[in-house]
Amino acid sequence: MNQIRLMKIEDYDLVNHLWCTTPGMGMRSLDDSKEGINQFLLRNPYTCFVAEYEGDLAGVILCGHDGRRGYIYHTAVKENYRKKGIGSALVNRVLEALKHQNINKAALVVYSTNELGNQFWEGLGFEMRDDLTYRNISLNQDNN
């Protein structure tokens, strides 16, 4: 891997393509639009990263926090760059960024059917919680 750097909105087209071609990713029409991601980056300028490998965008991780807990989203590595430590390096960079901002805990959601994703996160020490029920509500029916 050549470089991990902060994500810029100019990376959006390549990042979005990676997300859309990665099995197990859950994409939303508004939240994950260019405008939605720009809003996320503006709110979280120091916790979203891309990995470049030989000039190619090889991976991405989005992360934000509410001042108390960090939340990791949309982590993906191109298939041909997997098993090179890129995903782990992205996660480590995010965790360091959160620690730097005095955030002491990070969480994420993975589809239960995403075996590869669940294996990845478990391998990094992220514990599965079976004492919680995840709930959400859509505030905008256009965000499908």
What stretch of H or E contains 4? strand 3-6
Q: What is the pLDDT of residues 98-108, one digit of tens each?
A: 999 999 999 99
Q: What is the pLDDT of residues 44-57, one digit of tens each?
A: 999 999 999 989 99
- HSE (CB half, 13 Å, CA atoms) of 95? 13
Number of Cβ within 10 Å of residue 58's Cβ equals 26
